[in-house]
Chains A and B, each alone.
Chain A
Amino acid sequence: MSLELFLSQVVPVRTKLFRFAYRLLGDEEDAKDITQDALMKVWAMQGKMMELQNLEAWCMRITRNLALDKIKSRKYRIADTLDKASELPALHQRNPHAATERNEVMNKVHAAINGLPEKYRNIMQLRDMDGLSYQEIAEALDIDVNEVKVNLHRARKSVREKLQNQQVYGL
């Protein structure tokens, strides 16, 4: 019974859990470890698993709590260095100068998003990069749907202002 439930409802969402952990931690290896731990924790709590209606939301919460614990215990921070942005695939490279300029622009966008308060950043990433609905974000972060909407608006507004102030235009 519990194995069937695990295989039919938890295993299919592990990719989503991994992506969610990756968004929160910003590191592939840590995201893998946290997702693995979350899957094991869910399995260890089989009794509760069978009582719940929305297993996906519960799994997301477990993943989120484990990720937050990791952030707290190791004083984990997504590196503000812009290495990540520089690894982005350079699109439409016409010449080296254009590529450098493009990377510079991407670095500025990366800095603008990474400079957001954590809750704004997480919501913006889950919405804009992962395409989650307001309801899914609310369940994953254990907050109200209205709070998701308000924080998303503030996050985008803040990013827009930063990009305008830095005069980041064009591609």
Chain B
Amino acid sequence: MPEKVYGKNYKINRYMDYKAISALLEKYWEGETSLAEEAELKAFFSEPPADLPEDLVEAAPLFQYIAAEAQFPAEPEWDMSFLQETPPQQAPARVVHMQPFRNWMKYAAIVLMLAGIGYAFRQHRETKLIAARQEAEERRAYMEAKKALALLSRNFNKGTDKMQQLSYFNTAVEKLQGSN
């Protein structure tokens, strides 16, 4: 980490720097830092200033250890002769297994739906037939009633004629009695 050039506000700037690192460090202990933030901490502790506050001093040995441990041994020579010993395989032809009953639930759902539609259609037709039958019955009953009422009316009219004749007769009688 390059040495920072601080101005006359040296102490304040430095304090603010430490504050930011302390906040990052707290996140680190909580296991909430990103890889970039962890890289920042590693960079800071790779060349830490001498006057670190206590919470940063506490973490310094760990980061020093991490830096040292991150150095791996040199990569060894690999023996890749096994590639020649076993010939490469071609990708096997992809066999598609036909499984007609694999989606049985789909078929069952379709059958159920068709049965439902059929049943509903049949119910609807039956209801319509019953309604038509009922209507015919009602019409017949109406016609019967109409016929009966017409008969009644005709007979009633006959009675009225007779009564009218009687009324004329009565009027004539009353007139004759009055003149006498």
Do A and B actually bind? yes
Which A residues are within 8 Å of any B CB, using their own CB?
1-3, 6, 11, 14-15, 18-19, 22, 28, 32, 35-36, 39-40, 43-44, 46-47, 50, 85, 88-89, 91, 105-106, 108-110, 113, 125, 127-131, 133, 149-150, 152-153, 156-157, 159-160, 163-164, 168-171
Closest 3 CB pairs of A and B: A153-B31, A109-B65, A3-B88
**Interchain CA distance A51-B61 in the complex, whole Å:** 46
Interface residues of B in 51-94 (CB under 8 A from A): 54, 57-58, 60-62, 64-66, 68-70, 72-73, 75-76, 78-80, 82-83, 86, 88-92
A110 to B61, CA, bound (A): 10
Q: Given A1-B91, A32-B76, A40–B64 Cβ distance below 8 Å?
A: no
| CA A163 to CA B62, docked complex, whole Å | 9
Interface residues of B (CB under 8 A from A): 28-32, 35, 38-39, 48, 54, 57-58, 60-62, 64-66, 68-70, 72-73, 75-76, 78-80, 82-83, 86, 88-92
How many whole Å from B69's CB to the nearest CB in chain A?
5
Q: Are A152 and B57 in contact (CB under 8 A)?
A: no
A109 surroundings in chain B (CB, below 8 A): 61-62, 64-65
- Which residues of chain A have C-beta atoms less than 8 A from B83's C-beta? 3, 6, 43
Q: CA separation between A110 and B39, bound complex, in Å?
A: 20
Complex: how many Å from CA A164 to CA B88?
Answer: 56
Of B31, B54, B72, B82, most buried by chain A (CB within 10 Å of CB) is: B31
Out of B54, B65, B73, B78, name the residue touching A110 (CB < 8 Å): B65
Are A125 and B60 in contact, CB atoms less than 8 angstroms apart? no
Are A28 and B73 in contact, with the CB atoms below 8 A?
yes
| Docked-complex contact B58 and A163, CB < 8 angstroms | yes
Known: A1-B88, A19-B72. A170 touches B60 (CB 8 A): yes
B76 pairs with A153, CB closer than 8 A: no
**Looking across the interface, which residue of chain B has its beta carbon closest to that of A27?**
B73
Contact of A171 among B54, B60, B70, B89 (CB under 8 A): B60
A4 to B: closest C-beta gap in Å:
8
User: When the two chains form their complex, are residues B72 and A91 in contact, meaning their CB atoms are under 8 A apart?
Assistant: no
- Which of chain B's residues have a CB closer than 8 A to the CB of A40? 82
Kindly list chain A residues whose C-beta atoms are within 8 Å of the C-beta of B80. 11, 39
Q: How far is the CB of B60 from chain A (nearest CB, A)?
A: 5
Tell whether A113 pairs with B65 under 8 Å between CB atoms, given A2-B91, A18-B75.
yes
Given A125-B69, A153-B31, A160-B29, list of 13 further CB < 8 A pairs?
A: A2-B88, A6-B83, A15-B75, A18-B76, A22-B72, A40-B82, A88-B68, A131-B39, A156-B28, A156-B29, A156-B31, A163-B62, A170-B57
Residues of B within 8 A of A160 (CB): 29, 58, 62
Contact of B88 among A46, A127, A168, A171 (CB under 8 A): A46
CB of A130 to closest CB in B, whole Å: 7
Cα distance A156–B82 when bound, in Å?
42
